Structure 1
Amino acid sequence: MNVSPLIWVITIVAILALLAFDYFFHIRKAHVPALKEAGIWSSIYVGIAVIFGVLVFIFGGVTMGSEYFAGYITEKALSVDNLFVFLIIIASFKVPREDQQKVLLFGIVFSLLARTGFIFLGAALINSYAWVFYIFGLILLITAGNLLKPGDHEADQSNNFIMRLAKRFMHTTDHFDGDKLFTVHNGKRALTPMLLVMVSIGGTDILFALDSIPAIFGLTQNVYIVFTATAFSLMGLRQLYFLLDGLLDRLIYLSYGLAAILAFIGVKLVLHALHENNLPFINDGEPIPVIEISTGLSLSVIIGVLLLTVIASLLSKAGKAQTAINSARRHAVSYIDLGYTADPMERERIYRLLTAEESQILAMDPKYRNKAKDVATIRQQVAEAHRLHAEYDKK
């Protein structure tokens, strides 16, 4: 089904309106969103995406609707995985809690721009060169293998190549000035860490696009479906970050599930490439009659793998222990870092979460809690948080 230019314009205007609404009604005033606020708005954005998918089913047909939902679910799952990296970047730069929303919205906007560019580039390549499916399939298979490597989310992103260049050739400061991008430091105009963290997230977004765009092109070659599924998967990602903060570590098998999905789509792309083959050194340039995986089967596999991954993660005792320990470490570090937030109520909330996690950890089987990395360091951090809280209470 061909989509008219009018539908394209209406869709793009609607997406831009959602982003503008997000900025003017949620981001302009720096604050820490409550769990209820994050939950409501995350549900609203998912609801909008589902309603749009129903409209695609009605006006575009079953195939087009199935392709949209398969693409949306895949991109949403990859977006959740990306939140791990966002969390590490934000923690590495020690972005104040109330200013994190602005960083996340920038990341979403940059992601949308980067992915849009890759979508049209990918579509142009696919229309001109069928062998591109081999390249896309290989990218996904390599990505799937990398996801299985330990420590995939542990890299320190605050000192990457882009950051080192910025700090070497530009005047920067290590201190935040609210949510300002520039400030005056030693009498000179300087870049704040707020701008640097946005640049860092923007750089990683480009790498994310290299994985996610081949994945969705493996499910549909309809550019409109690729664009809308990608755009709606990014909508509400900011709210989802605060909703899942502290629960992201709980999904200990998410990387395995995503690796299985990307490998599956990679195989599908290679099979499609063989079916459309025109490379002279493969079967003398003639198409190979191989089985092609249907959109319905793709959607079933994606949903099934994600459900299995989430359920296995939630039921895992090792996962529960890992989540509580990682959360305790993160909250202890946040409490110790006086630059984390200027809101006393937010610091009190963090301390309550820390004590609750301590109680949960102590009630666990020692064989699970003792498997965590750097247990001695975490205990020191928790003890320091208790000491600082005791001093705070004396004031």
Structure 2
Amino acid sequence: METQSVGSPALWAGFIVFVLVMLALDLGVFHRKDHAVKFKEALGWSGVWISLALVFNLGIWWKFGATPAVKFLTGYLIEKSLSIDNIFVFVVIFSAMKIPQLYQHRVLFWGILSALVLRAGMIFAGVAMINRFHWLIYVFGAFLIITGVRLFMHRNEEEDPGESRMLAWARKVIPSTEQLHGPRFFTRETGRWLATPLFMTLVLVELTDVLFALDSIPAIFAVTTDPFLVFTSNIFAILGLRSLFFVLAGAVEKFSYLKVGLSAVLVFVGAKMTLVDVVHVPPAVSLGVIALLLGASIVASLRKARALERSAGPKPPAPPLDSEASRQPSRS
């Protein structure tokens, strides 16, 4: 485990300024008006965020060498893959809460902005605890193994967020209305302020992200405890989560084996943590194993989706516009 971070105060300050500038451009320039994010736009933004992460990784390689760069890339890959599991839940949340696509970007933006702050606190607390109490690495490892096994056992189960305990608790604590009021998070009714379904959806997104962070952050600790590498890889993955949501939202059902791959990744990194003082796994080997597990699950999922499409048969062709039926006058 590292005893010294590669991140100097100048690097920390520069990275935080970069994040704030990108968020300001995102909300204030590119998404100033609420609109339904189309697939092509989301794909372009996903490419931008992934490219920025890879350029940053090259910068780490140039300044600090191959080992920190491989650790950053491995942490980024872990967080990126686990964030796809977030997308499965976000799709269900938006559907259950009946949030129009027009306002989904707004919810995700503020949810991710809050997640940046929450995760920063969790990362620094986790690093401090591991550096002071080394035995916690075994606790985190066992926790990840158990989480991976549970994810595999319950991979086909879905919970309705509209009837979840989290939403029931939030509605009990926060006075709210079930009437949507455009892009507003709060509205005034009968002389008092009430949270709209948009804000309650934001609460669900936040609580869900905290739960997922309990898995993803310890998973990165299996790769590195350098707070700068953990923080930057986490933040880059989160910043790209919003655009990735709109890329994959319509195709989540095609990734039927993804949770199998994610559960295998969690078990692998958990075992790596519990055996950290017995077996040394080089960072490049960890990266290769994680990439192989995720790649195999994605390829298997896409092959299954294509097989199901073939078994369903071709769709019947639409009648030509100049067919005899279309020329006959309507009797209605």
TM-score (norm 1): 0.75
CA contact (8 A) 1:250 1:320 kept: no
* Shift in CA distance, 152/199, structure 1 to aligned 2, threshold 3 Å: farther
**Relative contact order higher in (CA < 8 Å, ≥ 6 apart):** 2
Distance 2:307 2:241 in 1: 24
1:291 counterpart residue number: 279
Moved segments of 4+, more than 4 Å = none
2:147 counterpart residue number: 143
Q: 1:78 aligns with which of 82, 93, 104?
A: 82
Distance 2:138 2:69 in 1: 26
What per-residue deviation string (whole Å, max 9, x for no partner) do you get for residues 156-208 of structure 1?
12233342234335432111111101113345432101111111111111111
CA contact (8 A) 1:111 1:209 kept: no
Aligned with 1:316: secondary structure? helix
Distance 2:167 2:293 in 1: 37
1:19 aligns with 2:23: yes
* Shift in CA distance, 320/206, structure 1 to aligned 2, threshold 3 Å: farther
Aligned with 2:177: secondary structure? coil
Letter in 1 for 2:66: V
1:197 aligns with 2:201: yes
1:90 aligns with 2:94: yes
Deviation at 1:217, TM superposition (A): 0.5
Aligned with 1:189: secondary structure? strand
CA contact (8 A) 1:174 1:192 kept: yes
Distance 2:173 2:79 in 1: 36
Letter in 2 for 1:47: S
1:363 counterpart residue number: 313
Distance 1:158 1:292 in 2: 45
What per-residue deviation string (whole Å, max 9, x for no partner) do you get for residues 310-329 of structure 1?
11111115x764xx7xxxxx
Distance 2:174 2:239 in 1: 33
Q: 1:44 aligns with which of 34, 37, 48?
A: 48
Distance 2:225 2:191 in 1: 54
Letter in 1 for 2:292: G
Letter in 1 for 2:112: I
Deviation at 1:245, TM superposition (A): 1.6
Deviation at 1:85, TM superposition (A): 0.7
1:310 aligns with 2:298: yes
What per-residue deviation string (whole Å, max 9, x for no partner) do you get for residues 20-73 of structure 1?
221112443110112211111110110000000010011011100000000001
Deviation at 1:17, TM superposition (A): 1.4
1:269 counterpart residue number: 273
* Shift in CA distance, 320/204, structure 1 to aligned 2, threshold 3 Å: farther
**RMSD of aligned residue pairs (Cα, Å):** 1.9
* Shift in CA distance, 203/152, structure 1 to aligned 2, threshold 3 Å: farther
Percentage of pairs with the same residue: 36
Deviation at 1:257, TM superposition (A): 0.5
* Shift in CA distance, 266/151, structure 1 to aligned 2, threshold 3 Å: closer
1:58 counterpart residue number: 62
Distance 2:35 2:311 in 1: 30
**5+ long unaligned stretches in structure 1:** 276-289, 325-359, 365-395
What per-residue deviation string (whole Å, max 9, x for no partner) do you get for residues 240-297 of structure 1?
111112211111110010111111100110011xx2xxxxxxxxxxxxxx22111111
Aligned with 1:247: secondary structure? helix
Aligned with 2:275: secondary structure? helix
Distance 2:218 2:145 in 1: 11
Distance 1:170 1:261 in 2: 37
**5+ long unaligned stretches in structure 2:** 315-332
Q: 1:165 aligns with which of 163, 166, 169?
A: 169
Q: How many residues align?
A: 311
1:156 counterpart residue number: 160
Deviation at 1:4, TM superposition (A): 1.2
Distance 1:56 1:170 in 2: 44
